[in-house]
Amino acid sequence: MMKNKKLIAGVFALIIFTSTKAQQNDSVKTLKEVIVTGYKTVNGVGHLLESQDGIIYAGMKNEVIIVDSLDANKAINNTRQILGRIPGLNIVETESSGFTANGIATRGLNPTQSIEMNTRQNGYNISADVYGYNEAYYIPPMEAVKRIEMLRGAAALQFGAQFGGLVNYVTEDAPKGKPFQFTTSQTIGSFGMFNFFNSIGGNYKKISYYGFFQYRNMNSYRPNSQQWQLSGFGKVQYTPSKNINISLEYSLLRNRIQMPGGLTDSLFDANPKTSIRARNWLKSPWNIISNSINLNPGENTTISLKTTYIFSNRSLVWRNEDGGPGVLDTIDPATNQYVLREAESEDMHSIATEARFSTNYNLGKNKSTLAGGLRFTYAWFKREEGGEGSTGSDFDLSVTGDYENNLNFTTLNIAPFVENIFRVGKKLTVTPGLRFEFLKSTANGYVIDDVFKITTDKSRNRSFLLTGLGIEYKPKYNTSIYGNISQAYKPIDYNQQQPFGVTAKIDPNLKDAVGFNSDLGYRTIIKNYLNVDASLFYLAYNNRIGEVVKTDPAPGLDYAYRTNIASSVHKGIETYIEFNILKCLNQRSKKGLSIFNSFAYIDARYTSGEFKGNRVEAAAKEIERVGVIFNNTHFSSTFQINYVGDAYGDATNVKVSDNPIAGYIPAYTVLDFSTTYKINNYEIKCGVNNLTDKSYFTRRTDEYPGPGIIPAVGRSFYLGFTAKF
């Protein structure tokens, strides 16, 4: 009783003292309202806010990966460790053939070179062309990436009409409050891998800057395989006032890759390290310049303008696919030389300007958000194929005579778009959207098939109106039930416009692929120990383009006919659960022990045409990744199990075929372990990828880097050191 009286007296004394001090002040200061914004995350995986930086995310299936929080082999961009927590992510693992920018896709779509994705860096496109040649040969090194944003198909309205959605690699910024910071990182590993990464950044008055330089050299898993790569980035930002900032960025890639070729099933089964190609080489210099202006003319309004210019090339010389992957590349006794190689060259140029605005306004008692903009892109692409290369084995891209194929393509795209968040009360948002796409594509040039020369000169205009609707209900701040349906399309790309043989024909009424994505999901974050996101999806992909064999009734000869052969439906479930056991038991614990499970079941099948009922090529039914993470103040470690179900190389679903692209792709399980130790500004990292040395493959191809099966990398080790000054 006496203790309670003393406590009450103490409280009253504090109140009287505070009141007296307040009366002694000449004025009372009222602090401005502070709104905390950020990414909702438990341990590395979070979700985007309803709207940010002029972009609406309400009602969308989305994830944010905080790269710095991951234990992973970032020196070689190990995709399954870095992006593997995205449910249903299918990865083309082509490191053994030199391509470290592994292609990705979700929901049973084609992951090759991420062609179904809208691939961006810092908000601007970094693939060769938005639609005509949407292949990603460059992504920034993961050591320079701060976070990765992933949106499913609902991204089609604001970013572009790709079925796969958006992946955006956001690079590091200049360090806050420092005039200069230097970071250096060196990593060594199996197969002669050496990775050297340096970055600088800082602020001086109204100017900030950040840049990095990376050098990587490796021999890779198989013989006849080597790579060196230089990549760099520089960004300067000028902020004359809190309402204006202007930035200029430049990204570059220089590489040289020796590709060991593909394998037949029998060669792979005998020894997945086998290589019977020693003369295949590729280079792909990449250059990207981007300028942006961001304005905040009022408290509720943002305006941004980004202009990006890509000028790049991909050139290769190789023992081509003639005869298939089993044909040996041997010296001809008659000439005492190898056969002539084939050389190819592709020049890519594209310019894109994207203007965006957003504004918050009052509608009744609620605040609504309007966001919209306009994208203008123009791309020109020159492809030269079938050049007569040398008989040598070294990196020699020289050509004798003319190329057999010489084609020029252009793509013009103009796309205005708008979305609006209507808030109904405090818990419900309804977000309709529109996007109008105008597309003009041209193709001209020639293709030589044996002694025949096929010329083409075509121009095609079309337009689309895409619509979408997103709904999100939040019973609590960190819990939401969301749904979205958005239309999408995939235009006829450059390869499909190209004549492909003297007896082949292209359907004059060839149509672009169209369809839609839909989601219905639930996500919640409970304090700092539980993260749950579970959803159902349904994707319709109509008018898929392919080749069928027809017979000309007059001469009675068969010919290949490129047309819209089928439609497919992709449906299933995607779930992500992460549970931190130690944080659940003690909220203030400085240690963490987490278990995560990223799972997707995907039923992707053709619903029309010759292959009705067959599974879509490369679409695994089940993809599951389970991991255990332990971390404390200085130490963190992750053990990850990756299971990817079986798939087929093409729509026929045959298990064995002489066609290098057709055949069975068996299921596989791969184990990865990584650990990091940090103290002050220093960090040591090490790990093992493919712990059990599993032999497996994810891709069959009829051209480079094949033809045939491209084996994935076996067991490999890495050790690295990082320091900041």
For the stretch 6-51, pLDDT in tens is: 433 443 343 333 334 434 444 444 444 444 444 444 556 889 999 9
Tell me what pLDDT residue 493 has: 86
Q: What is the mean pLDDT of the chain?
A: 88
Burial of 51 per CB tally in 10 Å (0-12, 13-18, 19+): buried
Q: What percent of the chain has pLDDT over 90?
A: 68
Give the CB-side neighbour count of residue 142, counting CA atoms within 13 A. Answer: 24
Tell me what pLDDT residue 553 has: 74
114-162, pLDDT tens digit by residue? 999 999 999 999 998 888 888 888 999 999 999 999 998 788 899 988 9
Check pLDDT > 70 for residue 473.
yes
C-alpha–C-alpha distance, residues 490 and 437, integer Å: 12
Check pLDDT > 50 for residue 421.
yes
507-522, pLDDT tens digit by residue? 888 889 999 999 999 9
581-623, pLDDT tens digit by residue? 999 999 888 899 999 999 999 999 999 988 899 999 999 999 9
Check pLDDT > 90 for residue 174.
yes
Strands (E), 553-650: 557-580, 592-606, 622-631, 635-644, 647-648
Whether residue 159 contacts residue 131, with contact meaning beta carbons closer than 8 Å, is answered with no
Strand partners, 66: 147
Read off the pLDDT of each residue in 467-474 and give the average, rounded to a whole number: 96
Q: Domains in the chain, ordered, with CATH?
A: 40-724 (2.40.170.20)
Tell me what pLDDT residue 39 has: 47
Q: pTM score, two decimals?
A: 0.91
**Cα dihedral angle (321, 323, 324, 326), rounded to 10 degrees?**
-120
Long-range contacts of 103-106 (CB under 8 A, 24+ apart): 103/136, 104/79, 104/167, 105/164, 105/618, 106/152, 106/164, 106/165, 106/574, 106/600
Residue 587 CB coordination number (10 Å): 10
DSSP 280-327: EEEE--EEEEEEEEEEEEETTEEEEEEEEEEEEEEEEEE--STT-TT-
Tell me what pLDDT residue 26 has: 42
Tell me what pLDDT residue 556 has: 67
Q: Which of 20-29, 438-447, 515-524, 708-717 has the lowest mean pLDDT?
A: 20-29
Tell me what pLDDT residue 307 has: 98
315-327, pLDDT tens digit by residue? 999 987 777 888 8
Tell me what pLDDT residue 8 has: 37
178-211, pLDDT tens digit by residue? 999 999 999 999 999 999 999 999 999 999 999 9
What's the N-to-C CA distance of the chain in angstroms?
58
